[in-house]
């Protein structure tokens, strides 16, 4: 068979369901082979959108999302989404066609050294130079992408190699396992917890990746230790749980910060520094840190580990909980009470344009505990991260490693393909929306209904926020938007414009009931950004 046909069979062997991408001249053999495959090719309008779809699909399912492009500009368009997935620890396999090996050694049309280009933003980057190595390369790409800590891998497939024949077959899929933490490390961690007067748990996205959210909740409840989660770990402990302190991650001091200020022991579970740097919660480097994860901690002067419990996260949490003594009482109940009150403060606000806090409150009201909100990157991300009360893991997707704008619309398509029975809302600023809004047509063609909630302020709101904080004046952040209702209708989607704060909740309900792609144009009052900055500066500890 052709190497391209074997390549597709290897993807089938990995249980690939979707490939997101754009066909081109140099990947035509693979495209032709896909016609005889059960794998569904999702044709996108931009390779960045394809990479973001693979990114969110991988993050939600734990199985590598797959994106594909042709050579040159097609491949370079994948880079932002691939880098985002790699830094957010989402498993994806990116594939690019390439010119024939007979012209790779010289200046030639659209030829770039793609393997070198993708190497810094992937866990594994390689080129297929012989048809017989296709099974090994595909198997390794998926194994590396999906093994903790997951991330991106890249395969460069020259067009002449794709045409060659081979009698090789796919390699059996074997899943890497995580070993158990040593008993003496469990005991060391338990002793530190027993001696602690004010312990707190910092939960990271690794808890979700390793399927340990229930184990973490039980751990917290058994030992009576409160939990703060990073932006990317929203929902690891339900917000309604009395031990949840909500989300930490703002650069300024927020309510959760006061728990870390007072804490003597910080139990970091599935925590990656890229989510929230220890400079922010351990500025003096004086905290006793227990690191519970599958792999050793990153080296950092503010993250000196007293004991590392390395192994299967669920089993490690269970073992430590059985070995340690429960706390008699948490000193952080006042923080929990303050966080709950803060989230509800603007629930009845009727000001227009609508305050960010009210938008998040109303969105939470219309979505069930398992429904999915996917946040783009911008000022709205800070409000979603801070205010959205997640009850389940992976129900509020925040990109906070690479933090690339433009992820929400393509990400919502992937979310709906992965979980067709759940409601999905893409929460985006007007700027981020316009970066990949062309994928609305992809969503309609793929019959993936979801709501796009645009926070409209006609400027780069997050940058305005930073500029005002640093310099007291904005610089070159304003732009004009199209009529979003007419824009939606031009694709065959639906569009609504919110004219009063009281209209947002019923509009959200109607948009979800419409069961198609719907844009909601919602004017937002970002004067609240600087008000929040001032509030956090003046905030006093509730303890």
The average pLDDT across 295-319 equals 96
**Residue 84 scores a pLDDT above 90:** yes
- Cα separations (Å) of 179 from 148, 189, 216, 322? 12, 18, 18, 19
Burial 512-538 (b: 16+ CB within 10 A, else e): beeebbbbbbbbbbbebbeebbeeeee
Q: For the purposes of burial, counting CB atoms within 10 Å of the CB of 167, is it exposed (0-12), middle (13-18) or buried (19 or more)?
A: exposed
pTM: 0.96
Mean of the pLDDT values across residues 84-93?
Answer: 97
Give pLDDT tens digits for 332-364. Answer: 999 999 999 999 999 999 999 999 999 999 999
Q: Which residue has tokens 């059960």?
A: 38
φ and ψ at 106, to 5 degrees?
Answer: -140, 170
CATH topology of domain 3-163: Rossmann fold (3.40.50)
Do residues 94 and 118 touch, judged by C-beta distance below 8 A?
yes
Reported as a pLDDT band with limits 50, 70 and 90, residue 267 is very high
Would you say how long the chain is, in residues?
543
CA-closest candidate to residue 323, choices 448, 466, 191: 191
Q: How many helices (H) and strands (E) does the chain have?
A: 24, 18
Q: What are phi and psi of 98, to 5 degrees?
A: -145, 155
At residue 102, the pLDDT reads 84
Name the average pLDDT for the chain. 96
pLDDT digits (tens, 9 = 90+) for 148-198: 999 999 999 999 999 999 999 999 999 888 899 999 999 999 999 999 999
Matching CATH number, 183-332, of 3.40.50.1220, 3.30.300.130, 3.30.1300.30, 3.40.190.290: 3.40.50.1220
CA atoms 158, 163, 164, 166: torsion sign: positive
For the chain, the structural domain boundaries read 3-163, 183-332, 345-536
The SS3 of residue 80 is helix
Nearest CA to 229 out of 392, 408, 405, 359 is that of 392
Q: What percent of the chain is predicted at pLDDT more than 90? A: 93
* 345-536: CATH architecture: 3-Layer(aba) Sandwich (3.40)
165: number of Cβ within 10 Å: 10
Residue 99 contacts residue 111 (beta carbons within 8 Å): yes
């Amino acid at each position: 068979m052709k190497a391209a046909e074997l390549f597709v069979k290897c993807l089938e062997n990995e249980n690939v369901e979707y490939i997101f991408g754009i066909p081109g001249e140099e990947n035509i053999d693979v495209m032709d082979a896909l016609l005889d495959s059960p794998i569904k090719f999702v044709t996108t309008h931009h390779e960045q959108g394809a990479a973001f779809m693979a990114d969110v699909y991988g993050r939600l399912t734990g199985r590598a999302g797959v994106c594909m492009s042709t050579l040159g500009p097609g491949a370079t368009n994948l880079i932002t989404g691939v880098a985002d997935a790699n830094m957010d620890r989402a498993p994806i396999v990116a594939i690019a066609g390439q010119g024939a090996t007979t012209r790779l050694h010289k200046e030639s049309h659209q030829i770039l050294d793609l393997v070198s280009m993708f190497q810094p933003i992937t866990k594994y980057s390689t080129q297929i130079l012989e048809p017989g190595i296709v099974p090994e390369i595909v198997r390794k790409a998926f194994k590396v992408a999906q093994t903790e800590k997951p991330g991106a891998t890249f395969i460069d497939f020259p067009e002449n190699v794709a045409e060659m024949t081979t009698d090789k077959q796919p390699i059996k899929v074997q899943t890497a396992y995580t070993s158990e933490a040593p008993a003496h490390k469990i005991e060391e961690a338990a002793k530190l917890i027993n001696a602690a007067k004010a312990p707190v748990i910092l939960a990271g996205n690794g808890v979700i990746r390793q399927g340990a959210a229930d184990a973490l909740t039980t751990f917290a409840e058994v030992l009576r230790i409160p939990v703060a989660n990073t932006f990317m770990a929203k929902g690891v402990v339900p917000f309604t749980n009395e031990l949840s302190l909500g989300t930490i991650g703002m650069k300024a001091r927020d309510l959760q910060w006061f728990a870390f200020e007072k804490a003597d022991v910080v139990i970091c579970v599935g925590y990656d520094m890229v989510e929230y740097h220890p400079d922010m919660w351990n500025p003096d480097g004086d905290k006793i840190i227990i690191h519970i994860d599958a792999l050793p901690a990153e080296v950092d002067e503010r993250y000196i580990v007293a004991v590392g419990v390395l192994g299967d996260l669920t089993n490690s949490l269970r073992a430590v909980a059985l070995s340690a003594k429960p706390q008699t009482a948490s000193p952080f109940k006042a923080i929990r009470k303050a966080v709950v009150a803060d989230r509800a403060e603007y629930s009845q606000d009727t000001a227009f344009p609508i305050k960010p806090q009210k938008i998040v409150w109303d969105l939470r009201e219309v979505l069930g505990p398992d429904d999915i909100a996917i946040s783009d990157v911008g000022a709205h991300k800070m409000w979603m991260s801070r205010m959205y009360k997640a009850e389940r893991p992976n129900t509020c997707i925040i990109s906070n490693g690479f933090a690339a704008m433009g992820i929400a619309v393509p990400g919502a398509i992937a979310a709906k393909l992965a979980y067709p029975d759940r409601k999905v809302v893409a929460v985006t600023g007007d700027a981020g929306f316009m970066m990949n809004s062309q994928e609305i047509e992809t969503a309609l063609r793929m019959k993936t209904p979801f709501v796009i909630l645009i926070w409209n302020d006609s400027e780069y709101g997050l940058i305005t926020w930073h500029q005002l904080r640093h310099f007291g004046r904005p610089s070159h952040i304003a732009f004009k938007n199209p009529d979003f209702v007419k824009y939606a209708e031009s694709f065959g989607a639906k569009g609504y414009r919110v004219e009063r704060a009281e209209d947002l909740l019923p509009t959200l309900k109607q948009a979800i009931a419409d069961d198609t792609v719907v844009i909601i144009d919602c004017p937002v009052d970002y004067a609240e950004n600087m008000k929040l900055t001032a509030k956090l500066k003046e905030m006093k500890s509730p303890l």
